[in-house]
Amino acid sequence: MKRNFNNVCITGSGNGIGKAISILLNKHGHNVACVDINLEDAKKTIYEFENKVARSVAISADISIISQIKKMIKEVVYSFGSLHIMINNAGVTRTSDIMKLNEQDWYWINNINSKGTFFCLQAAANQMKFQKTGGRIINMSSVGARGFVDVSNAIYAGSKGAIISLTKTAAQQLGKYNINVNAICPSPTYTEIVKKLIKTRSLEQNKSENEIMKHYMRDVPLGRFNQPEDIAEMALFLSSESSKNISGQSFNVDGGLIPS
Ligand SMILES: NC(=O)c1ccc[n+]([C@@H]2O[C@H](COP(=O)([O-])OP(=O)(O)OC[C@H]3O[C@@H](n4cnc5c(N)ncnc54)[C@H](O)[C@@H]3O)[C@@H](O)[C@H]2O)c1
């Protein structure tokens, strides 16, 4: 896949989907800054990079804190000279019925998923505007924002819906700087978040974890459980020259679960 933009920053890249995206983009020759609240996990991702010619850096940042976001962007620019692709992947959730959610859950989830994504997008766009290079911003939403019936919880669904709306407006307002903004909406993907969700549902419903997974798969036409690498392929496409005229869109990667 052709690429013009080299320097990438990926939040939440110490595990799961962010880790898979980092590994794939490194393989394709990008310089990758792996950001995570847990620096050791970000470093572990970099140890797995196959392409040793492309540059990499592990950065510690909590994306719910604006001062840490600003420092993160400075560290990326210090390491690579510029920032071309920002992937706002970090996100959190826990499994809960709507009636059991509380204010603490609301702030925890929204501070990371909604506020963190917005201020990372804004800081990255500022840097791209200053460079006059244009760039790409990719936000991680979820099929939870599209009405997926087994979403982990309602606050999470709302936070991911906010990301889809943000993606549309940011694309409209940042297009003049040649910045494309898109979102990815994965269905359940086999990472730590989903392993915990399956465990909780299995205990709640007194069913085996296998039964819970089969339940998730019942409406998936392609019949495969998403792997982190499936999401990474979409992130690679949205980072490449091949997607240069695509902006403001949110793409499901879900085996056909929710046609849109
Ligand atoms: N796994 C799924 O089924 C699924 C489905 C749809 C959407 N998503 C979304 O994809 C993204 C990645 O999910 P995942 O399954 O890989 O999760 P994960 O829990 O495996 O990894 C998330 C990473 O984010 C980091 N992180 C958490 N809070 C952070 C913060 N405040 N600042 C910086 N880093 C932080 C964690 O340390 C972890 O390394 C999330 O936004 C999630 O909502 C996941």
Rounded mean pLDDT for each run of 10 residues along the chain, 260 residues in total: 82 98 97 98 98 97 98 98 98 96 98 98 98 98 96 97 98 98 97 90 92 89 95 98 97 95
* Gap from CA of 91 to ligand 1 centroid (Å): 4
pLDDT digits (tens, 9 = 90+) for 232-257: 999 999 999 999 999 999 999 999 99
Between the CA of residue 193 and those of 76, 99, 109, what are the distances in Å? 27, 21, 13
Residue 100: DSSP 8-state? G
Mutate-to-test residue for ligand 1 from 10, 60, 65, 92, highest number of ligand atoms within 8 A of CB: 92
> Is 107 known to be catalytic?
no
All domains in the chain, ordered by first residue: 7-189+227-253 (3.40.50.720)
Q: For residue 206, what pLDDT is reported?
A: 93
88 lines ligand 1 (CB under 6 A): no
The verdict on the CB of residue 193 being under 6 Å from ligand 1 is: yes
Name the token pair of 249.
């869109």
What whole-number distance in Å separates Cα of residue 132 and Cα of residue 17? 30
Q: How far is the CA of 197 from the centre of ligand 1 (A)?
A: 13
CA distance 49 to 55: 10
Centroid of ligand 1 to alpha carbon of 226 (angstroms): 15
The residues pairing with 185 across neighbouring beta strands, listed in sequence order, are: 252
From the CB of 188, is ligand 1 less than 6 Å away? yes
Say if CB 45 and CB 96 are below 8 A apart.
Answer: no
Q: Any idea what DSSP says for residue 226? A: B
